[in-house]
Every structure is written in structure tokens, then in C-alpha cells.
Structure 1
Amino acid sequence: MTLSSSPSISEKGDVVHVEDGKAAPEGGLYNPHIDVSGIDERALMRKVDMRTVPWLSFLYLLCFLDRTSIGNAKLYNMEAELGITDTQYLVCLTIFFISYALFEVPSNIVLKRLKPSVWLSALMVLWGIMMTVQGLVHNYSGLLVMRWMLGAFEAGLFPGVTYYLSCWYKRSEFGIRAAIFFSAATISGAFGGLLAVGIAEMNGIGGKPAWAWIFIIEGLITIAAGAVSYWIIVDFPDNATFLTEAERTVVIRRLQGDAQFSAAGEKMQWRHIKKALTEWKTYLAMIVYAGIDMPLYAFALFLPSIINQFGYSATKANLLTVPVYALACISTCLVGFFADRYGNRGMYNFILLSIAAVGYIILIASRNAALSYFAVFLAACGIYPCIPNTVAWMSNNSEGTYKRSVALAMVISWGNLQGAVSSNVYRANQKPWYPLGHGLVLMYIGTGLIATATFRFLLKRENARRDRGERDEIIEGREGGFEVNGRFESVEDAKREKGDEWSGYRYTL
């Protein structure tokens, strides 16, 4: 497919094709003087895919591996050798999520101001150092400090990359990329168990126990990956050096044609951040995401321990996590693909959360190891795909680069703060079936179901109001519109000033 023209959006949301690189009547076309007739759009996006998604997915694999490997290390006598109680161990899990949540919004603002190649690479090196030092601690206070620092430096990767990818792809393309990126979390769950078993064979080398070597080896790998990331991570479309000027023009025009009016660039203004902080969609999406993220972290942090309590050894428990995460990875990618192709992200969330709820109902009721093991497959296949699907859903419905950056960070930050809750729900005195932990996770899933249904209903109602013309602005020289919706000199001004609140914008259900 050769791109001979680039689409723009009319005042009512219709596609207006632009011939020979000339701007549409309403203006605003990026680089109107650039001839893009020789650019193959599909080949260009494959080129973009290869430079963005694989390496960023690998980095998230390391990120998720580093934060959850403490669950694998616990099975190799970490608590006893550090002299910490079960309560102290849970505090170490909790404090990670507090610093993680606190630094996500500031990190996304810095990411927009700096180059992703600089900011993301620096964060990786720093958290890799914290991870390595975590294997050198000798007591509870040392582990506590390292978990806080690890959370602070890891905070920027997931919200940063999800926002960064949304700046490269159309709304109908973003979900599968986000799913592939997030599927690294499921791979890290499978890989983490295998890696922990292998590293545990180093027990005693250099006077270090197996659990310490898990932290040290994984930390050193992260430092190395962060160091080379500076030369691998590419920056935003308008200044990506691996593309020609014509290729950058095509990428940005594609986004403009997808109602991403700020794709060509947007100056930092506090009003954009204020919109994210005051919009109802942000806060309802936070509830949706919290209903998914708490179960996710509870699952990831305690799956080895849950399986261990079925009567399996530490090594076998770690190995039995592998097929669970493998199936979750497949489910995540499939949902990302179909949600992009057919839409209805809210409906996918509702179905997936229902599957997860069935899994946890079985876990609460079951007293059979085989049945409980089957239930964790249902839980994983329901929870993991919801994370990238919800992120894509929120991203699809937030226009304006700074607004989307802050809104995504707020949603993800609030969800990750629930990790502090999930870190404390599986108590040692609840062994072997953990009824309290499973019950609280089920409660969060129920909250996610209700919030998802509400979010979808309100978005659908708002689209209907726009279809009826109730949100039309007054445009100079045109008939119709309502003063309460604003008065603008042109449609382009309305798009730029109002973002997704513009009457021609339609929300993704």
C-alpha cells in the first residue's frame, strides 16, 4: 500500500483526504510542503514496530521480573536468613508500591520534556543498581530501603512507555502494541520461575545464599540493558532520527487523521495538566484500573507461594507457574488484537473480569490442589489482558499529548498503589488456602466490573449527545452551535483548544 495522500478530520468527524500534500481547508496539516507519495505506509509502520515494541517489551520483562522476583526469593529462605517476620516481609512489598505510585505522574511529565532515550535508560540503570544492592542487604531495614528505591526508579517505565507508544500509533493500532508490551509481564512470570530455579544453583558461591544471587544476577542484567538502551530507544515521532523527514511526516499525519490533533507538537501548558486532573473520565478509569491492578499484583507476588501451599516443593512451585503465565501471555495478545480490530474494549474488560471472578470463586471454595491449580489459569487469563486493554481504552479517549500523559500516569499510579493492598492480603496465618486474600481480590474484581459497565455507559451516552448536536461549538462564519460549548474562529481552533471535548470527537466504547 502506497500512501499518496494523508487524511484529516472534518468538523463533524468525517475523513477529508488531502491531495498532493496540501493542507485541508481547515489547516493544520503537518509539513504540508513535504511530498509523501513515495512512502509505503505499511512498510513504514513495520519499521516503527521493530524499533519500538520488541526492545521496550524486553525492558518491561526485566522491570516486572525485578519487582516480583522477591516472591521467588522468598521460597529460598530469604526471611529466615535476614531475620524478618511475615509482617516485615509484607511491609517490604508494600513500600515498593508507595514510592512506585508517587513518582509515576512526575516521571511522565519529565519524559515529555526530555528524550525517552535519555530518561528511560537512566531509570533502568538506577533501578538495576537498587536491585543488585538488594541482594547485598543483611537485615530488614536494608531490604526496606532498597524496595523503596526500586519502586521510585521503576515508576517511570510502564506509564512512560504506554504514553510513548500512544504517540506513535493510531487508536485502532495501539491496543495490540500495548498488549505485546504488557505480555512481557506474563513472560517474566514464567521466565522468573525458571530463572530463579537456575540461579538457586549458585547457592553458597561467594558466600552468598540463593535468594541473594537471584537479586544480584537480575540486577546486573538490568544495568546492562539500561546502558545500551540509550542507543536503542527512539524518541517521539517529530524528532525520531531513524526516520526521514517524509517518514516522520507520514507518521504524524496518520495520527492527525485519527483525531490526535496534538500529534504535530504541543507546548507545555498547565491548562492541559489541569484538564487531566479535573476530568471525570480520569477518575472513573482509575477505579476500573484499580479493580484489575490489585488482583494482578496479588497474583504475581504470591502465585509461587499459593502453589507451594498445594504441597509442592519450592522448585516445583516455581516451575508450575510457567504454564500459567504462558497461557496468560497468549490471552493478552489475542485480546489486544481482537479489541483493536473490533473495538468494544469495555465489553472485553467485562468478559475478562467475569472469567477472573469465576477463577477466584473456585479458589475460595476449593480444597483440592488440582482444582485450585485450574482456577489460577482462569484468574491469569482474565486479569492480565485487562491491563493493556484498559490502558488502551483510556488512551483512546484522551486527546492532547500532555493531558494524555498525565491522565495515563494518574490511572496507572492509582492502580499500582493498590499493590500496597495486595502485598498484605495473603497472610501466613491463612495457609494453605488463603480465603481472606482470595476474597479481597474477588471484591476488587467486582468493583472493576461495576466501574467498567459505568464507564462504557457514560461514554456511549456522551457520544449520543454529540451525535444529536448538543455539544456543537459556535464557529465563526458557520451556522449552529451553542455558546455554552465555546466560541472559536475555526474548527482547527476548537480541536486544538478542546481536545477530546470537541464535538466531532467520538469516544471508544
Structure 2
Amino acid sequence: MSINFKASHDDSGKHELVTEIEDIRSESATSDGCDVNEKKLIRKLDINIVPWMSLLYLLSFMDRGSIGNAKLYNLEGDLHITDKQYLIGLTVFFFSYALIEPISNVFLRRLRPSIYLSSIMLAWGIVMTCHGVIKNYGGLITVRFLLGLTEGGLYAGVIFYISSWYKRSELGTRIAIFFSGATVAGAFSGLLAAAISNMDGIGGKAGWQWIFILEGLGTIVIAIASFWVIQDFPTTAKFLSEDERKFIIRRLQNDSKQSAAGEKFSKKYIWQSFTDWHTYIGLGIFMGFDGPLYAFSLFTPSIIHQGFEATVANLLSVPVYAWACLITCAVGVLADRTNSRGYINCFFMGVGLVGYIILLISRSPALSYFAVYLAASAIYPVAANSASWTACNIEGSYKRAVTIAIVIGFGNLNGAVTSNVYRAKDAPWYRLGHGIILGYIAIGFFSSALYSFLLRRENARRERGERDEVIEGVDNKNAHERNGVYASVEEAKKDKGDRWSGFRYTV
């Protein structure tokens, strides 16, 4: 089986090339006696991969954000800490969280996901439970730092993990469903906190302590189950037959994921990530929604609290997160069907800008509550869409793992800033906090627009043959040695990843 690449770049040459590639794809799906129903196989993947990953992220996001709910039940008073000390406690989480992410994905790639993800989850469940027994400011700092250190590998790890199973045109929906765990966590944590607070005084512990203890124990139970439930990569997954494994690897390779069959670790892949312009544009995009994301998850009850009592404020946060869940999943489906991830980012970030402008000028609890819905409509869909957008455009499993970890790690580091911008002295309208979040979203908006423009320009250059490599034995008038000299197309694809001339970026 071979591909005869045409020397010319005229329309007829392109048509013949596309026809040959499609013939090979059709043949590869049924070769070696492989008889696999693709739709049934994708449903099988969806059942075995996505729901459990969503559950893990739900627990992760609920555990890190539950301190915002606990605050409303006299956490500061019982620990004898000031508002400034409370904010510092929130901040230290993000330093350790961001520190561990870039190296975490390398470990995930080299180890089994079932072992690595389950282990870090067990660790943060234990740390979460310890939140319920702290007595002072030092204890708060310690458990928040450790929580960030143990949770840090999950989000970037799961984004990379999901991207190792699905085609680029399928990622948006799956990552949106996975990320909706954050929205469900926001809704569920408010309900759970309101219910658990009624245990105040039981066992000599305050209501806020029981929130941490019970949520931590729940995480530990799920972590133990995860050692058996989480599947590894397609090449070794136990729930797949040998034919199904071959089929998945072929369909991923046909989708420009040449590394789907496995990739030997090399330091050059990490260097490629650090020197790729995609990484640095991605920093701006992820900064634009991650900063707002953590401010939203930590302070939504406080923002709503401006016109309502504590328990009512927690309960009113539930429909906000339910709405965020619905729109995040809807946008994920839309992104996969249209492949217009840049336009989607810009539109919804525009909605977020409107929402925070309203929050800045509003002096009505009802109007501010409406603006919170607009903010949620921007932050959560953009977060999921941007993660899938990044994963779509980076080829090479190690390079993709490191790039995802870098942009997510930097984005999360901005939580160290936004966890300090909603100060108690600015209540009830929090003008400083809303203004800073407005600036973050503006950065994300312009970074998304720039990234989309640059991707379209690069795709056009590749269509014109400006990036064509020299392939030995192939007569191509557009090929140039500056783009590399290779013995075969397969060698070029393997070495260059997404920089290969035949790779097309998702815009």
C-alpha cells in the first residue's frame, strides 16, 4: 500500500491525491480481516472513557472550589484569620497546581493512566479530608498548597488522554462533556454545602468542617475504584479487541495523528513545544478564561450574596451552573460540526465582556444575577472549546502532552491573581474584581482572534506549497530543502508532526 504524491499542485493533481488517500483510508478500515462497526466502536469509547473522566473532574473542581461555600459558614472566624489571609490561602493552591502540570503529562504518557490518575486522585482526596481538621492559618496554607500539588496533573492529563482516543473533529463534544463536570460541580457544591451545613455541631465539628470531610471521603472512594475503571491508551486498553485497537490507531493516523501507534520519548519533542508559536499564543487564550474561571468558581456565592443570605446565595448558584453545563455541551457539538473554534471563542468571549460590563455598572442584585449568567455563558464554553482547539492543532503525543500542560499550567497560574481580586472590603459590588476579570477576558478575545488569523494564513501557505518538503524520488517543483529533506512522506510526518506540509490546522 503506497501513496503516489503528485509533483504538481494544480487542481487535477490535488483531486487525484485526495482520491487515493480516501481509497487507502477505506482499505485500512477493513484490512487484515478487521470487521469493525465504527459507530458502535465510538459509542463504546464514549461509554468507557468520557463519563468517568467527567466524574473525576467534577470531584476535582468541587473539592478545590468548596472553600468558597465553606467560607459562608464562618470558616474565617473559626480559624481566626483575616480576609487577606483567606485570600492568600486561595492563592498558594495555584502556585503548586501550575508548577506540577508541565511535568505531569510526561509522567502520564510514560506511565499507565489507570495508575497515575487514580494515584493523584487518592492523594488529593486525603488532603481534602484534612481540610476538615485544620485549626489555624498555617494549617490552611499547608492543605491548600498540597491540594494544588496533588490535583495539578488531572485537567491537562485528561485533555491529553481524551485527545489520544478521538479524531480532531470529535474532540469538541467529548471535552465539552468532560469539562461540564466543572459546571455540575458548581451546582452540586452549592446544594451539598447547604445540606451539609445542617450538620453543624455534630461530633464537635462546625458545618464547614463537615463539608470538607465528607467531600474528601467521597473522592477517596472514587479514587480507589478508578484503579480498575480507568482504561489505558488505545494500544493496550483491555476493553478493546485486537481488531478494534488496530482500527482506532488507523483512524487516528488517518486524522494526522501519526503518533497514535506509540512514540518513543525524546527531549526534542519537549523542545519543539517550548519553541512553537502555538504555545505562546495559547498562553494568552488560556489566561483569558482560566483567570475568570477560578474567580467565578470561588466567588460566585459571594457575588450573589450581595442581595441574599448565605444559604439562599448557595442555592441560587445552582441554576447558573446548570445553564453553564447546557451551553458548554451545546457549544462542544457546534464546534465539532462547524470546525470554527476561533469564531466560537470570539463570540462567547464577547458575551463575557458584556456580562462583566453589566456587573461593573450594576447596583441591582437582580441585574447582577442576570449578568452572572452571561459570565458563565462565556467562561465555561470557551474553556472547553480552547482545550479541544489546542489538542487539535498539536501533533506528536509528547509534544501535545507538554504543550497542553504548559498552556493549562500558565492559565491556572492566573488563578493566583484572580483569587485575590474579590476583597471583602469591596463588597457588595466588587468593582475591582469585575474590572480585572473584564481585562482578562479581553486578553482572551484578542488572543483567540490572532490565533485564528495566523492559523488561516499558515494553512493558505501550505495550500500554495510553500511548506513542501523534499521527498526523495518525488518530483515536486514547490519542494525546498529549507523545509527538510526526507526519504519518505511517512518519515516527514513522523519527524515534523503538525509542521508537516500536509497537516491542516483547525481554525
The answer as to 2:422 corresponding to 1:422 is no
Give the one of 496, 501, 504 matched to 1:503: 501
1:393 aligned to 374, 389, 395, which one?
A: 389
Q: How does 1:290-309 map to 2 (within 5 A)?
A: 290-309=287-306
**2:206: which partner in 1?**
209
CA displacement at 1:18 relative to structure 2: 2.8
Distance 2:469 2:52 in 1: 43
Structure 1 residue 334, shift from structure 2 partner: 0.3
Q: Which residue, 312, 324, 329 being the options, matches 2:325?
A: 329
Once the two structures are superposed, the pairs formed by residues 408-487 of structure 1 within 5 Å of their partners are 408-480=404-476, 481-487=479-485
Q: Does 1:83 align with 2:80?
A: yes
Residues in 1 aligned to 2:72 and 2:2: alpha-carbon distance in whole angstroms = 56
Distance 1:7 1:176, change over 3 A: farther
Match of 2:42 in 1: 45
Matched, 1:237 2:234: yes
Cα offset, 1:290, TM superposition = 0.5
Equivalent residues of 1:53, 1:181 under 8 A apart? yes
**AA of the residue aligned to 1:231:** W
Contact 1:9 1:259 in 2 (8 A): no
Change over 3 Å in CA distance of 1:391–1:7 after alignment to 2: farther
Checking the alignment, whether the CA contact within 8 Å between 1:7 and 1:253 is kept in structure 2 is no
Judged with a 3 Å threshold, the aligned counterparts in structure 2 of structure 1 residues 155 and 130 are, in CA distance, closer, same or farther, namely: same
Matched residue of 1:237: which SS?
Answer: coil
Mapping of residues 254-273 of structure 1, within 5 Å: 254-273=251-270
Q: Which amino acid aligns with 1:59?
A: L
The answer to whether the Cα contact below 8 Å between 1:90 and 1:424 also exists between their aligned partners in 2 is: yes
- Offset at residue 17 of structure 1 (A): 2.6
In the alignment, the residues of structure 2 paired with residue 219 and residue 490 of structure 1 have an alpha-carbon distance, to the nearest angstrom, of 53
Candidates 484, 488, 491, aligned match of 2:489: 491
> Partner amino acid for 2:59?
L
> Could you say if the C-alpha distance between residues 469 and 329 of structure 1 is closer, same or farther in structure 2, counting changes exceeding 3 Å?
same
Shift of 1:447: 0.7
Matches for 1:126-275 after TM superposition, within 5 Å: 126-275=123-272
Report if aligned partners of 2:258, 2:396 keep a CA contact under 8 Å in 1: yes
Specify whether residues 404 and 10 from structure 1 end up closer, same or farther in structure 2 by C-alpha distance, changes over 3 A only: farther
Paired residue for 1:405? 401
Using a 3 Å threshold, how does the CA distance of structure 1 residues 289 and 9 change in structure 2: closer, same or farther? farther
The match for 2:111 is 114
Deviations 1:236-257, CA, capped at 9 Å, x for gaps? 0011011010000111111011
Q: Report the equivalent of 1:369.
A: 365
Offset of residue 16 of structure 1? 3.5
Q: Secondary structure at the match of 2:23?
A: strand
Q: Quote the residue 1:26 is aligned against.
A: none
Question: 1:136, 1:172 → 2: CA distance?
Answer: 46
Structure 1 residues 234 and 293, CA, compared in 2 at 3 Å: closer, same or farther? same
Q: For the structure 1 residues 213 and 452, does the alpha-carbon distance in structure 2 shift closer, same or farther, using more than 3 Å as the test? A: same
Is the 1:9–1:257 contact (alpha carbons within 8 Å) kept by the matching residues of 2?
Answer: no
Gaps of 5+ in 1: 1-5, 23-28
Letter of the aligned partner of 1:114 in structure 2? Answer: L
Across the aligned residues of Structure 1 and Structure 2, the Cα RMSD in angstroms comes to 1.7
> After TM superposition, what 4+ stretches of structure 1 lie above 6 angstroms from structure 2?
6-13
Partner residue in 1 for 2:11: none
Describe the shift of the 1:429–1:7 C-alpha distance in structure 2 as closer, same or farther (beyond 3 A): farther
**SS of structure 2 residue aligned to 1:367:** coil
Letter of the aligned partner of 2:472 in structure 1? E
Deviation at 1:7, TM superposition (A): 12
- Residue 35 of structure 1 deviates from its aligned partner by 1.9
Distance 1:322 1:316 in 2: 10
Q: CA deviation at 1:33?
A: 7.1
Residue 194 of structure 1 deviates from its aligned partner by 0.1
Q: Which amino acid aligns with 1:421?
A: V
Q: Which residue identity is paired with 1:466?
A: R
Q: Is the 8 A contact 2:25 2:254 kept in 1?
A: no
Q: Given the alignment, which residue of 373, 380, 383 partners 2:376?
A: 380
Give the CA deviation at 1:106.
1.2
From the two aligned structures, give the one with the greater helix fraction. 2
Alignment partners' CA distance in 2, 1:486 and 1:298: 46
The Cα offsets for residues 65-103 of structure 1, whole Å up to 9 and x where unpaired, read as: 000000000000000000000000000100000000000
Displacement of 1:274 in angstroms is: 0.7
Amino-acid identity (%): 55
Give the SS at the match of 1:268. Answer: coil
Deviations 1:410-455 (A, max 9, x none): 0100000000011110011111100000000000111111111111
For 1:495, the aligned partner's letter is K
* Aligned-residue offset at 1:34: 3.2
Letter in 2 for 1:193: G
Query: How far 1:317 sits from its partner (Å)?
Result: 0.3
Query: How far apart in 2 are the matches of 1:8 and 1:453?
Result: 36
State the match for 1:25 in structure 2: none
Alignment check: 8 A CA contact 1:9 1:16 kept: no
Paired with 1:485 and 1:128, the residues of 2 have a C-alpha distance of 49
Aligned length: 494
Separation (CA, whole Å) in 2 of partners of 1:177 and 1:143: 35
Measured in 1, the distance between the counterparts of 2:115 and 2:95 equals: 25
Query: Does residue 1:288 correspond to 2:285, yes or no?
Result: yes
Q: Match for 1:228: what amino acid?
A: A
The 8 Å contact of residues 292 and 379 in structure 2, kept in 1 or not, is answered as yes
- For the 8 Å contact 1:7–1:257, the answer to whether it is kept is no
Instruction: Provide structure 2 residue ranges, at least 5 long, that are not aligned to the other structure.
Output: 7-13
Selected match of 1:105 from 102, 105, 117: 102
When normalised by structure 2's length, the TM-score is: 0.95
CA distance, structure 2, for counterparts of residue 370 and residue 488 of structure 1: 64
Matched, 1:62 2:59: yes
CA contact (8 A) 2:5 2:474 kept: no
Q: Which residue in the other structure is 2:120 paired with?
A: 123
- Decide whether the 8 Å contact of 1:287 with 1:448 is kept in 2: yes
1:434-486 deviation line (CA, Å, top 9, x unaligned): 00000000001111111111111111110111011100000001122001000
